[in-house]
Amino acid sequence: MSDGFRRIRGKIKLVKFDQKIFGVIDGDDGRDYFFIPSLMLHKQTYWRLEPGFTVEFMPLPTDHGFRASEITVLWTVTGTHANGEEKRVEQ
């Protein structure tokens, strides 16, 4: 992007499936980022989101706080990569 923002990582903090569907990401930069399903790169993955999933996204400041856009799931809570691979932990 020309405004100097770069993709960052974070963890899903909250996902709500009530009358309005939305979620919150706890960014690695310490900020909370609001998101809705239409901001996911792969919209079909939204229904599988759970708190603790690691995601990567484009941070966008708004008049009401921060929003996450172009969200991609990297790791699930169980340590499985979004493409099905098991996460390798280096010691």
Read off the pLDDT of residues 11-44 as tens digits, 9 standing for 90 and up. Answer: 999 888 777 788 899 999 999 999 987 777 666 5
DSSP letters along 30-68, please? S-EEEE-GGGBSSGGGGGG--TT-EEEEEEEEETTEEEE
3-class state of residue 90 by DSSP: coil
pTM above 0.75, yes or no: no
Instruction: Determine the straight-line distance between the first and last CA of the chain, rounded to whole angstroms.
Output: 35
* pLDDT, position 25: 95
* pLDDT, position 8: 95
CA–CA separation, 91 and 89 (whole Å): 6
Read off the pLDDT of residues 45-59 as tens digits, 9 standing for 90 and up. Answer: 656 778 888 999 999
* pLDDT, position 83: 55
* pLDDT, position 42: 65
